[in-house]
Amino acid sequence: MSLFHIVIYGSLLIFIVAILARAARIMRMPLHLRWELQPVPHERPGASTFERVDWWTHSRDRSRFGELSIMIPEILLLKGVWEHNRGLWFASWTLHFGLYLLIGAMVVILLHAVLLVAGVLADAFVPVVLAAVTRPLAIAGGALGTVGAIAMLIRRITEPGMRRYATAGHFVNLAHLGAIYVTALLWALLDGGFVAETATLYAGVLTAAPLPSLPLIGYLNVAIVLLFFIYLPFTHMTHFFTKYFTYHMVRWEDTPNTAGGRLEEKIRRNVSQPVSWAAAHVGANGKKTWLDLVADTGEVKRETEEA
């Protein structure tokens, strides 16, 4: 096993562990205030749960198709950006969709590598088909992502609202993504051995076998991608998976709070936390819990009514 192997394995390990740790941290957070919107996508059309008498006692009729009908356009087309900030849509969509295409190319290359390791690529037809898919995906992804990165940088610099809240991290992230796109595009365009090199590289990573020699642009792309894996879990770009929690645990959460149930225990933990708000009208001192404050408010109200 070479130093190159160790760097690749180490980068992937940091990425996986950091993502799992962040997800676990989110799962352990106090229960979020639910939006209580109706209807929610996982309900079948015309069957809103809240329209039924004693709705919490009935079985839930859920539709995964309803959720997917919202999630797929949002993920692939950035539907929310189109509806609420159309001027930002082109830059944001090209930036994201370019990444989707590169990920698609990586998946095809991985399939190529697995077949290579399994020894089933004796038929020349298979690698030709995989190469015919991989190269266009990489070129299209690199080109589209490059356009998106440049367009987003221009928007962040020239649009007053975005410039006002931009941080150095925003520009570093965009520059890093742009570097991934540009190097992937140049590698796929200029190197005739791009597909064979990447497939052999993936196969070597899967089996700890010797890795192929790459052109300079290839090493540069791999280094930039590995660095991206290392620091991505510590940035706001983790919205690629944290949006799941936003949608399913805040916007669409409608599990009934029944006696002795899971939600009741979470709510009990929430209202038992000490309150340290400084506003005088809250009456908190850092020791009283939410339950104490509610009880105090009720007592004051009763005394006021009696007076």
Give 20 or 260, the one with higher predicted confidence. 20
Q: Examine the domain organization and report whether 92 and 178 are in the same domain.
A: yes
**Judgement on whether residues 182 and 276 belong to the same structural domain of the protein:** no
Average pLDDT, the chain: 88
Assess contact for 11 and 229: CB atoms under 8 A: yes
Q: Does 49 map to a domain? A: no
- pLDDT for the residue numbered 223: 97
For 286, the domain range is 272-306
Better-predicted residue by pLDDT, 190 or 64: 190
Strand partners, 43: 62
Do the domain assignments include residue 286? yes
In 3D space, the residue among 208, 217, 207 whose CA is nearest the CA of residue 182 turns out to be 217
C-beta separation of 206 from 117 below 8 A: yes
- Name residue, tokens 């390791």: 117
Q: Is residue 210 part of a domain?
A: yes
The pLDDT of residue 300 is 45
Higher per-residue confidence, 224 vs 30: 224
Query: For 69-88, what is each residue's pLDDT tens digit?
Result: 889 999 999 999 999 999 99
| Total domains present in the chain | 2
Q: Which of residues 203, 229, 255 is at a domain's end?
A: 229
Q: Are 81 and 57 in contact (CB under 8 A)?
A: no
Is pLDDT above 90 for 90? yes
Question: Looking at the structure, do residues 118 and 213 belong to the same domain, yes or no?
Answer: yes
pTM: 0.86
37 located within any domain: no
Give residue 303's pLDDT: 45
Establish if 284 belongs to a structural domain. yes
Dist CA 251 CA 35 (whole Å): 5
Q: Is residue 6 part of a domain?
A: no
Residue 43 placed within a domain:
no
Token code pair at residue 176 = 């890093």
Dist CA 114 CA 108 (whole Å) = 10
Tokens representing 148? 């998106």
pLDDT at 47: 65
Residue 152, number of CB atoms within 10 A of its CB: 24
User: Mean pLDDT throughout 227-255?
Assistant: 91
Burial of 31 (0-12, 13-18, 19+ CB in 10 A): middle
State whether 211 and 284 are in the same domain.
no
The pLDDT score that the predictor gives to residue 61 is: 72
Higher pLDDT, 46 or 20: 20
pLDDT greater than 90 at residue 260: no
Task: Quick: pLDDT tens for 11-37.
Answer: 999 999 999 999 999 988 888 887 777
Q: Which amino acid is at 165?
A: Y
Asked whether residue 100 falls in the same domain as residue 225, the answer is yes
In whole angstroms, what is the distance from residue 91 CA to residue 81 CA? Answer: 10
Burial (0-12, 13-18, 19+ Cβ within 10 Å), 207: exposed
Mean pLDDT, residues 228-248: 93
Residues 180 and 106 sit within 8 Å (Cβ to Cβ): no
Q: Of 200, 202, 201, 195, which Cα lies nearest the Cα of 129?
A: 195
